[in-house]
Structure 1
Amino acid sequence: MRIVFDFGGVVFRWHPASFLARVWPHRVETLEQGAQLAAQFFQNYGGDWGQFDQGLIGADEVAQRISARTGWALDEVEAVVRAVPDELTAVPAMVALISDLRAAGHRLHFLSNMPEPYADHLSANYPLGEWFESGLFSGRVKQIKPGAEIFAMAERHFGAPPSELLFIDDHPVNVDAALSRDWQSFLFIDAAGARRELVSRRLLGA
């Protein structure tokens, strides 16, 4: 079995509400406020941010578009865009899970919606080549989940039929997209739950 990981919110920390509370303490006093602002800022990873994820626009342009759309000051928006890499820190329990899966003989890959600047940051700061056999970043291949094309590209890139791929992602639409292509998939909630699911599928020992 080949196991394919999403990155943000799975392998790497991504919690937009608390992230915005950290970067914008003058705007965000509660996590509820942070979640509301995140919905406006990231547009559920569609809109401006989706184009950034897909590599169709760069960091400067996405900041300009968000500022124009929301009325937030450009320098404040740019501060958020610059701060994202600091949010994307590896989750220790997921690093341990990856290690255990590799030790069990599984071949691991990644499939991540990630703008190219952030993909470059992760590639430079983490041993992705040791953790994973291969992977695709949306910003580099100019396709994005849940679109069918990036899953088709992944099948070709990983050299595996859909039935041999198990995808772990924290967004239901991406899980559904994988299942629609006959991949196996489950929704990520946290590292402990992912480990239990993998044990239940007999991919890891208890």
Structure 2
Amino acid sequence: MKVVFDFGGVVFRWHPASFLARVWPHRIETLEQGAQAAALFFQNYGGDWGLFDQGLIGADEVVRRIAVRTGWPRGEVETVVRAVPDELMPIPATVVLIRDLQAAGHTLHFLSNMPEPYADHLSSSYPLSEWFVSGLFSGRVKQIKPNAEIFAMAERQFDAAPQDLLFLDDHPVNVEAALARDWQACVFTDAASARRELVSRRLLSA
């Protein structure tokens, strides 16, 4: 089986509400306020941020657009955009899961919506080539989940039939898109529940 990992919220820490609360303590006092600000800032990874994810605009342009759209000071918006790489730290339990899947003989790949600057940071900071045989970053291939084309690109890149791929992603819409292409897929909530799912599918031993 070829197991395909999403990155943000799966392999790397990504919780926008608490992230914004840390970066903007003067503006955000509660996680509820953080969630509201995140919805406006990231637009559910569509809009301006979706174009950034897809590699169609750069960091300076996404900062400009968000500042214009929201009225937040450009310097504050830039602080958030610059702080994202430090937020993307490996989740230890997922790293253990990756190692266990490798030990069980499975081939691992990744499929991540990630702007090019952040993809470059992850590639240079962490042993992606040790964890994964290959992978696709949206910002590099100019396609984005949940669009069908990036899943088709992944099938070619991973040299796999859809039914031979199992996808772990924390966004249900991306999981639904994978299932629509006849991938196996499940929503990732945490490494422990993912491990139970993999055991139930007989990909890992209990």
Give the shorter-chain TM-score range.
Answer: over 0.9
Report deviation, 1:169: 0.2
* 1:60-93 CA distance string (max 9 Å, x none): 0000000000000000000000000011000000
The letter for the 1-side match of 2:84 is V
Check if 1:141 corresponds to 2:103: no
Report deviation, 1:41: 0.1
* 1:113-136 CA distance string (max 9 Å, x none): 000000000000000000000000
Provide the rounded CA distance (Å) in 2 between the counterparts of 1:184 and 1:194: 13
Provide the rounded CA distance (Å) in 2 between the counterparts of 1:191 and 1:162: 23
Report deviation, 1:194: 0.4
Provide the rounded CA distance (Å) in 1 between the counterparts of 2:195 and 2:122: 23
Provide the rounded CA distance (Å) in 2 between the counterparts of 1:182 and 1:17: 33
Report deviation, 1:102: 0.2
TM-score, length basis structure 2:
1.00
Check if 1:151 corresponds to 2:168: no
Query: SS at 2:110's partner residue?
Result: strand
The letter for the 2-side match of 1:40 is L
Provide the rounded CA distance (Å) in 2 between the counterparts of 1:188 and 1:27: 30
1:115 equivalent in structure 2: 115
Provide the rounded CA distance (Å) in 1 between the counterparts of 2:180 and 2:31: 34
Q: 1:68-87 residue pairs with structure 2 within 5 A? A: 68-87=68-87
The letter for the 1-side match of 2:14 is W
Q: Could you list the runs of 4 or more consecutive aligned residues of structure 1 that deviate by over 4 angstroms after TM superposition?
A: none
Query: Structure 1 stretches of 5 or more lacking a match?
Result: none
Instruction: Compute the RMSD of aligned alpha carbons.
Output: 0.3
Query: Structure 2 stretches of 5 or more lacking a match?
Result: none
The letter for the 2-side match of 1:56 is L
Report deviation, 1:100: 0.3
2:20 equivalent in structure 1: 20
What is the number of residues matched between the two proteins?
Answer: 206
2:92 equivalent in structure 1: 92
Percent identity for Structure 1 against Structure 2: 80
The letter for the 1-side match of 2:147 is G
